[in-house]
Amino acid sequence: MTTFDAIYQNIIKRIMEEGVEELNERTGHKTKAIPGLTFQFDIEKDGFPVLTLRKNPLKSPIAEQVWFVQGEKDTTFLRKFTKMWDPFLEPDGTLSSAYGWRWRNHFGRDQLGKAIELLEKEPSSRHGVIVTWDPKDDGYGGTPKKNVPCPYTYTINIIGGRLNMHNIVRSNDMILGCPFDTFGFALLQCMIAQRLGVKPGIYTHSISNAHIYDNHYAGANEIISRTNDHKNIELHLPENTFKRAEAKDEELVGEILRDLQAQYNPLPPIDGLEIAL
């Protein structure tokens, strides 16, 4: 197995064995959950985190991050590659809580752009904080929204000439959400590292509520039972990836996808893994 496969499989096993089972009122599903879960890996040494224990989507998380970097809430670019956000769209085709929009526009400040500028000028800075959660509008049973951010803040910093990212997630569906989010934010980390002319380092993923839905229990047990001899995957980004993403270069998604597809030989999909909305 890859390094990420081993980390992920151990987490799923722990939740299934130790997780507290409770009813989630919003979805009507029971979940097994544990609080305060953190895992990390070294992208330079351990490879890029693509789950191989089951077939996982590649194009959609790539397109999503390229779209996030653009700072858009209009989904025209994104929907050329994936329709996964369609259930959450407003009537005008926008996504009101789009992560990239929050990072680059929503708070009246380009958080992501300013953080990159800061690290260019002051590589030792510890102020590289990007916030997604809007306390004025998100959560607490307030304004009804179709989507509330799950990864709600992350930090980027350079230590020893390598860019590290710490992603903090309030809630993670560990079967469908966690592998997708880990892939996407690790890709963003690599894109930012390339933009800054440094190597990617440690990716850390911290979850306040790490859970498995009851309709995923059988799939979780299948993941726990699986093994393979897949080698770690290395991401080879095209040049100027971050700037090309900002410029809405549609060819970029395919270039990144082909690099990963050439290395990706996952075990078969697991049937019945429906999202719990």
Q: How far apart are CA 62 and CA 253, in angstroms?
A: 6
Q: Which entry of 58, 150, 220, 245 is annotated as an active-site residue?
A: 150
CB 244 within 8 A of CB 70: no
Active site residue 150: yes
SS3 48: strand
Nearest residue to 183 (alpha-carbon basis) of 44, 69, 62, 74: 62
Nearest residue to 118 (alpha-carbon basis) of 110, 127, 130, 109: 127
One DSSP character per residue, 193-229 reads HHHHTSEEEEEEEEEEEEEEEGGGHHHHHHHHH----
C-alpha pair distances (Å), 276 with each of 27, 75, 173: 6, 23, 9
What positions carry a catalytic annotation?
Answer: 150
